[in-house]
Every structure is written in C-alpha cells, then in structure tokens.
Amino acid sequence: MIRKEQCGAAAPDRCLVSRLGYITTATAYRFLTLRFPSSRKLVNMSIAYNHVLDPTQQHTYAGPTRQQPPNLRGLIQSGKILVGAVLSYPSTQVARTLAATGADWIWIDTEHVAWPNSVLVECIQIINHESGGRMVPIVRVPSKTAFDIMAYALDAGAGGIILPHIETTEEVDAAAHACRFPPEGHRSFPPFTFIPGVTDTTPSGETVYTLANKHVAIIPQVESPLGITNIASIFAHPAVDAIMIGAGDLRLELGLPMGFVGTEPAFTSAMDAAAAAAKQHPEKALVGAALGPEMIEERLRLGFRMLITTIDFHTLAFGTLGDLKRARDSVEGSRYLK
C-alpha cells in the first residue's frame, strides 16, 4: 500500500489514500516516476492528450457512488479514443491489480471463460471501488440471451454489456429490454444493491434508474457475414451505443485463417462496411482488438474508437517469457562468470 506521505504534493482530489484506502491513477503515475525514474520512458505525465482521454479527467465519468455504473455512454459520446484491457482470469486479485493501471475500460469476458457469478460480481465492484469509478467495467455475457448474467453484471455496477453474435436488430431489442429500466425496457429493480439514502444518491432530478439508463452502454458484437449485412441497421438502433467487431470469428465465418487483420477481399470488404456504418453515427463507437502499433494504426484508419490493447494472460505469459530471457542473457553475459 502506498502511504499518504508518499503521494508528494498531489492535489487532494488525486490522493485519496487516507479516506478510501487506494490511490488514483494520476497519483500512481507520479509515485512510479519519482520512485523509479526509468519508468518515465513508459509513463510520461507531461504528454498532451489530444485524442485519447486524459487520465486526470477519467473521474468526470464516474457514477455518483461506487455502487452505480460509470457513465460509459457519455464517455463514448465524448469522441475520445478509449484504451481498454481484458480481464479473463476470474480473480479478484487480478481485477484489483488491473484497476490500478489507468485503463479507460476493462472488458470482463464470460463468453469464453467460466466465471462463477459471485466472482464476477466481486470483480465488477472491485474495479469500480479500486479505480474510484475511473475505469469502466464492461461485461461480455456468455450469449446474447444470457439475461440472468446481464442482471447480475448490471446490478453489480457494470457500465456496459457486450452481446456476442448479434446479427439482427430484433436480437438487439431483446437484450436492450433486459438492460434498461422502464419505460425504456423491462429491467427489474435491484432490491439488494443500494442502501437507501447512502449509496443511491443522485443529482437533483435523477434516480438510480434514470441514471442507469443514461450511463449503461449496450454493445452488440458483430462477427458473421449476416451481421455485417445488417450492420448499418444495427448501428442505427437507438439502444446501441457501440459495436464490437469480432474479427477472429468473422474471418473464420468467411472461411479465412484465424486472425484479427488481413488483406483478403472478403474480410476487407466486411471491415469497410463496418467503418462506413460507424461513420454515419459519430456519437457511437467501433470496438475491436488493437494489439500493438500496427494493429492500432489499422483500427484507427477504419474509425475504431474503443481499442482492446492488452490482455491479462498475454501480459502474464509474454512478460514472464521476456523476463526469463533477459535473466538468462544477463547470466550468460555476466562478467563474474567469465
């Protein structure tokens, strides 16, 4: 734990150790660069953020209390490029660690990982609390009809729901009804989430229900030829805030080798169709994998604004492999072992 006195002259709103038991992203960056000067190569606090969200402004999209979802819809509508991470490990420790990294959003995947419901709920709450509401937890549910998991995730404070394998606007309708409170949908009120007068506080004229409808984003995932055929109408759906392109499954469905990028005409045509649909709705966003500089450039060329830039198990595996190689190289090159 970083003690309050180690935060230096950070502004009070950026150093919350004494009150909340954690530090915000900006303070963590400051501590890192002071304690480990070489880290300035990785974390440059003097950079001018023109296109991505300035980390010191993330708090403006936090919910009124940590039990309420961050304002992902507003974040998307800001027009900023949002960089995200993936939490695939059903682990509260990993969630707590990632919550301190300063990502704009974190994708929790329950489609390809068997998450216990209680762990999912805990991880969402940990991310909201440990990040001070600055990092938005987004849950990809196991299927587009997993209405029970949608309820658990939203009641826990998720800021968005990713709906896999969406192909039609009718499928969006069903999910939107499950994710929106009346009169916009049929989501049931969460009787065990809020302490009346304590954690359900809202700005004047709002309730936790109206705010949730305004803050929670619905994100269909399009990953098939039929979905691409219908992508313009899916993007135009009033309940849709962003569309995630499942490039890997899309390529497989097109009979192409697995991957996230490619130059095959069928694939480039599909991606161009997604880009054209997104261009008609600048208030919405395209979401997709952008692992490394070249893939980031390609996604930006197509107009993607929510980028999946790092994956927990990749970081663990490749980080460990790199450290081991550097260790072996250092041993072999040591002057003491000549």
CATH number, domain at 101?
3.20.20.60
Structure confidence by residue, pLDDT tens digits, 281-300 = 999 999 999 999 999 999 99
Residue 33 has pLDDT above 50, yes or no: no
Query: Using 50, 70 and 90 to split pLDDT, how confident is the model at 46?
Result: very low
Determine whether 4 is exposed, middle or buried from the number of CB atoms within 10 Å of its CB (0-12, 13-18, 19+): middle
In a shared domain, residues 32 and 97: no
Answer whether 88's CB lies under 8 Å from 308's CB: no
In a shared domain, residues 65 and 150: yes
Answer whether 115's CB lies under 8 Å from 142's CB: no
Picking from 162, 24, 27, the residue whose alpha carbon sits closest to that of residue 86 is 162
- The answer as to whether 327 is a domain residue is no
Average pLDDT over residues 230-242: 98
Average pLDDT over residues 212-221: 98
- The answer as to whether 317 is a domain residue is no
Residue 116 has pLDDT above 70, yes or no: yes
Answer whether 141's CB lies under 8 Å from 111's CB: yes
Q: Rounded to an integer, what distance in angstroms lies between the CA atom of residue 322 and that of residue 285?
A: 34
In a shared domain, residues 185 and 127: yes
Identify the helix (H) or strand (E) that includes residue 305.
strand 304-311
In a shared domain, residues 236 and 204: yes
Q: What percent of the chain is predicted at pLDDT more than 90?
A: 83
In a shared domain, residues 121 and 263: yes
Separation in Å, CA 273 to CA 103, 154, 257, 278, 298: 29, 31, 20, 9, 15
DSSP string, 39-81: GGGT--TT---SSBPPGGGGGGG--SSTTSPP-HHHHHHTT-B
Structure confidence by residue, pLDDT tens digits, 148-157 = 999 999 999 9
- The answer as to whether 333 is a domain residue is no
Residue 2 has pLDDT above 60, yes or no: no
Residue 81 has pLDDT above 90, yes or no: yes
- The answer as to whether 324 is a domain residue is no
Query: Using 50, 70 and 90 to split pLDDT, how confident is the model at 47?
Result: low
In a shared domain, residues 102 and 225: yes
In a shared domain, residues 77 and 18: no
In a shared domain, residues 92 and 26: no
Q: What percent of the chain is predicted at pLDDT more than 70?
A: 86
In a shared domain, residues 153 and 25: no
Q: Is 160 helix (H, G, I), strand (E, B) or coil?
A: strand
- The answer as to whether 135 is a domain residue is yes
Average pLDDT over residues 215-227: 98
How many domains, in total, are found in the chain?
2
Answer whether 122's CB lies under 8 Å from 91's CB: no
- The answer as to whether 164 is a domain residue is yes
Answer whether 70's CB lies under 8 Å from 136's CB: yes
Residue 29 has pLDDT above 60, yes or no: no
- The answer as to whether 110 is a domain residue is yes
Q: What is the mean pLDDT of the chain?
A: 89
Which region among 55-59, 67-71, 135-139, 190-194 has the lowest average model confidence (pLDDT)?
A: 55-59
Q: Rounded to an integer, what distance in angstroms lies between the CA atom of residue 139 and that of residue 87?
A: 10
Residue 317 has pLDDT above 60, yes or no: yes
- The answer as to whether 66 is a domain residue is yes
Q: What is the DSSP letter of 232?
A: H
Report the pLDDT value the prediction gives residue 50, as an integer from 0 to 100. 86
Residue 114 has pLDDT above 80, yes or no: yes
Identify the helix (H) or strand (E) that includes residue 86.
strand 82-87
The residue ranking higher by pLDDT, 163 or 5, is 163
Average pLDDT over residues 269-288: 98
Answer whether 243's CB lies under 8 Å from 235's CB: yes
Q: Rounded to an integer, what distance in angstroms lies between the CA atom of residue 55 and that of residue 288?
A: 21
Amino acid (1-letter code) at residue 330: S
Terminal Cα distance for the chain, rounded: 41
State which residues form the domain around 17: 1-47
Strand partners for 306: 82, 287
In a shared domain, residues 185 and 232: yes
**For residue 203, is the peptide bond before it cis, meaning its omega torsion is within 30 degrees of 0?**
no
Residue 26 has pLDDT above 60, yes or no: no
Average pLDDT over residues 168-184: 97
In a shared domain, residues 92 and 6: no
3-state helix, strand, coil in the chain (%, to 5): 45, 15, 40
Report the pLDDT value the prediction gives residue 39, as an integer from 0 to 100. 41
Residue 141 has pLDDT above 90, yes or no: yes
The residue ranking higher by pLDDT, 53 or 146, is 146
In a shared domain, residues 104 and 149: yes
Rg (CA), the chain: 21
